[in-house]
Structure formats: structure tokens, C-alpha cells
Amino acid sequence: MKPHSFSAVVFLGILLWVLSATCQAEEIMPHLTVGTQEVGLSAGYLLPHRLTTEHTTKQSGPAFMPSWAMVLTDPIGDSWYRGQILIGAEIVYIQFERPELTHGVGFTPKIKYLFEGTHRIRPYVEFAGGPFYTDLGGRIPEESARFNFVLTAGGGISWFITPQLSFNAGYRFHHISNAGTRLPNIGLNSSLPFGGFSFYF
């Protein structure tokens, strides 16, 4: 079986399980209080953005992001923006398939604002940044160093299947550069649509 076929089968299996769990659940009301921990795993595919004429590399590849976060506040705000702040960290692993097979790994503290939404479907926005090591640096005209930093900002939707489990889907904008520690430092910009799940306990 090809890897893509295997992934499709796994995805379909998860989807069927989710749908059956949804049908059984009568009322899903996640009760996230101060100190609630979130552990999750997301995966997506990096797509290149060449924002200037100096950007020539079409970097792309799958990304995996195991993460941890903790609810820092009770719900704040009284309007549509009512939600909770989470702080945490995640490990970002990217396998660059193009322009050549290389790898990158980083550690990024992150802050997340989880809107209250409809309780069961909760949108969120998040921002993360931290060090990122990749052997793609030095092989492309945009980045000369292997030690870089990654900054990401994006948003998504958490769909609570049970009060302790949510499936997430979202989008992130990725920026990789070395903060001017070595030249050239044009930076790599990418889009990262992703999906994943989180456990709350």
C-alpha cells in the first residue's frame, strides 16, 4: 500500500469514528477551567509564498506539530470575543520535500485565544515563535544559516467531540529567518493548512 493510500484510510477511519461519536453524544460542553492542560498533535502541508522577486525557492513538505498548552484564564469578555487565553509550547518538525529533501525542527512557545463560540465549536487564534534548526539553510539563496527562528500566526476551529477531545483544523502563516545573524537573510514564507486533535485534562 502506498503511503498516500494508507493516510487516506487512516483519515477515513478517524472521520467515521468521529461521526459515530458525535451521533452518540447528547450534549458536548467542554469545561475548561484555569489549569486545564491541552495536549495535541497537528499535521499539515507547507506551501511556499514568494512575496518578493528575491524569493525564488518553492519550499514545500509535510509538517508535524505536537503541542502542549494550559488554560490561563476563565472566560473573559462579554461579547462575541468572549474566550480564554492559553499558553503553551510546541515542537515543529518540517520535512522539506522541495527544493530538496531536508529537515527542520523547532521549539516554539505559543499563546492562544480560544473563543467561546458555540461551546462545541470554538474558533481560536494563535501566535508562536522560537528557534528553528534546518539543514535547508545554506542550500538556498534566501537563507544562509542552519540556525533560524520560526514565527507563526494563524487561526483555526476546535470541534469538541467529547468534553475532553477536540478535532482542530486551521491555517498558519509561517516565516523562517535567522534574525540577521548571518547574511543573506531574506527569509522563507509559507502557508500551512493543518488538521489535528487535542486532549484536555
Partner 1 sequence: MNDNPVLRCIVLVCCGLVIAMAGGCARWIEMMATPGGNQEGQSQLIARDERVPFIMDNIRITRNGSPQNPSAGTEQRILGSFEEIGLFSYLTGTNTAAPPANEKVIRARLSFDEAIDPHAGDAAWKGIVIGASMFILAPFIPLEYDYAAHVSLELERWDGQIKHYESQSAGTARYNLFGATPIMIDELKGHVTENCITDLTRQLVRDTTFFAASSAPIGEPGIRTVSVKSHAPKTSGSTSTVIPVSVPAEP
Please select the residue that binds partner 1; options are 105, 111, 125, 157, rule is CB under 8 A.
Answer: 111
- Mark the segment that binds partner 1 (CB under 8 A) among 2-10, 22-30, 31-39, 175-183: 31-39
- 181-to-28, 130, 147, 195 alpha-carbon distances in Å: 49, 15, 9, 33
174 binds partner 1 (CB under 8 A): no
**Total residues at the site for partner 1 (CB under 8 A)?**
17
CA nearest neighbour of 83 among 126, 53, 23: 126
**Which grid cell is 34?**
484555569
Task: By CB under 8 A, tell whether 179 contacts partner 1.
Answer: no
What is the C-alpha separation between 149 and 72, in angstroms, rounded? Answer: 26
In the complex, minimum distance from the CB of residue 32 to partner 1, in angstroms, rounded to a whole number: 9
CA angle in degrees (0–180, nearest 5) for 25-113-11: 45
Name the minimum Å distance from CB 65 to partner 1: 16
Minimal CA–CA distance to 108: which of 154, 149, 72? 149
Site for partner 1 in 75-94 (CB under 8 A): 76, 85, 87, 89
Rule CB under 8 A: say whether 101 interacts with partner 1: no
Which residue of 6, 7, 16, 74 would you call a contact of partner 1, by CB under 8 A?
A: 74
Q: Name the minimum Å distance from CB 199 to partner 1.
A: 14
> Does residue 13 interact with partner 1 by CB under 8 A?
no
CA separation, residue 109 to residues 42, 78, 131, 189 (Å): 15, 28, 10, 19
Q: What are the residues binding partner 1 (CB under 8 A)? A: 33-36, 70, 72-74, 76, 85, 87, 89, 107, 109-111, 130
